[in-house]
C-alpha cells in the first residue's frame, strides 16, 4: 500500500475529519474530509477547503490527518489546538522524535503502517488520547511496527540496522553517538530475532 492509502485506511472517521496541509487534495477527497491549506494557491481539487494555519479555525476536530511535513511542524500544529479526538500522522523527517513528543503529550500509539517512499520508508502513525506504556526505544522506532506484522517490517528493520552498523563503523568508539548507536543496534537486533526466530529471543 502507498502512504496515502495508509492515511485513508487508518482514518478512524471521527467527525469532523480535517486534513491539514491537504495540498493535492487526494486524501481529503477520498475521506470526504475538510481540506486545510495555508495558502490559497495550494488549493487543488474539489471538496471543502479552508485557508488557515493548522487546526486553529475549528472549534472541535474529530480526526486530524497531518502528513508529509516535518515532525516539529506536526507537533506545533497539534499543540496550537484544538486537540483532536484522534490523529493520523506522517513525519517525513523524524518520526521517532514525533512519537516521543506524542507520548509525552498523552497520546497512545494505536496503529502504525509502513510504505516505501523514495530510498526509505514512510511511517504512518495513528494516535488516540491515552497512555503509551512501551519502552522509550520501542516508542522511538514505532511500538506497533516492532510488535506487528507489517509486510515491510523485516525490510524496514534491516534498513535501520544497516544505518546503525554503517554509523558505528564510521565513528570512533569514544564519539558521543557511539553508545546510543550501539544500544539502538542491539535493540533492533533483538526485535529482528523475536519475529524471525523465537528460539533465539
Ligand X SMILES: C[S@@+](CC[C@H](N)C(=O)[O-])C[C@H]1O[C@@H](n2cnc3c(N)ncnc32)[C@H](O)[C@@H]1O
Q: For binding to ligand X (CB under 6 A), which residues are involved?
A: 20-23, 36-39, 42, 53-54, 67-69, 73, 77
Backbone phi and psi for residue 198, each to the nearest 5 degrees, phi listed first: -60, -25
Q: From CA 68, how far away is CA 162, in angstroms rounded? A: 25
Q: Supply the minimum distance, in Å, between the C-beta of residue 121 and ligand X.
A: 15
**Is 67 or 102 the residue whose CB approaches ligand X more closely?**
67
Comparison of 62 and 70: residue with beta carbon closer to ligand X: 70
Give me Rg for the CA atoms of the chain.
18
Separation of alpha carbons 8 and 43, rounded Å: 19
Q: Smallest distance, Å, CB 125 to ligand X?
A: 13
CA distance linking residue 187 with residue 9, whole number of Å = 29
Number of Cβ within a 10 Å radius of residue 172:
6
Nearer to ligand X, 54 or 95 (CB): 54
The strand pair at 120-129 and 86-91 is best described as antiparallel
Residue closer to ligand X (CB basis): 53 or 177:
53
Nearest approach in angstroms of CB 1 to ligand X is 14
Nearest distance in Å: CB 52, ligand X: 6
Minimum CB separation of residue 148 from ligand X in Å reads 22
d(C-alpha 23, C-alpha 166), whole Å: 36
> Shortest Cβ contact with ligand X: which residue?
21
| Smaller CB separation from ligand X, 20 or 87 | 20
Amino acid at each position: 500500500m502507498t502512504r496515502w492509502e495508509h492515511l485513508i485506511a487508518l482514518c478512524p472517521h471521527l467527525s469532523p475529519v480535517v486534513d491539514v496541509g491537504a495540498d493535492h487534495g487526494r486524501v481529503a477527497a477520498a475521506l470526504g474530509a475538510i481540506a486545510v491549506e495555508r495558502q490559497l494557491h495550494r488549493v487543488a481539487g474539489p471538496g471543502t477547503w479552508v485557508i488557515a494555519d493548522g487546526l486553529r479555525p475549528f472549534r472541535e476536530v474529530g480526526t486530524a490527518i497531518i502528513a508529509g511535513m516535518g515532525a516539529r511542524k506536526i507537533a506545533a500544529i497539534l499543540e496550537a489546538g484544538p486537540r483532536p479526538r484522534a490523529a493520523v500522522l506522517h513525519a517525513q523527517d523524524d518520526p521517532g522524535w514525533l512519537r516521543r513528543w506524542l507520548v509525552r503529550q498523552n497520546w497512545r500509539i494505536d496503529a502504525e503502517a509502513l510504505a516505501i517512499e523514495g530510498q526509505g520508508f514512510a511511517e504512518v502513525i495513528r494516535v488516540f488520547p491515552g497512555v503509551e506504556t512501551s519502552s522509550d526505544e520501542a516508542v522511538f522506532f514505532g511500538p506497533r511496527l516492532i510488535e506487528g506484522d507489517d509486510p515491510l517490517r523485516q525490510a524496514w528493520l534491516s534498513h535501520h540496522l544497516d544505518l546503525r552498523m554503517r554509523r558505528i563503523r564510521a565513528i570512533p568508539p569514544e564519539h558521543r553517538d557511539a553508545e546510543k548507536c550501539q544500544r539502538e543496534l542491539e535493540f533492533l537486533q533483538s526485535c529482528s530475532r523475536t519475529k524471525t526466530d523465537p528460539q533465539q529471543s
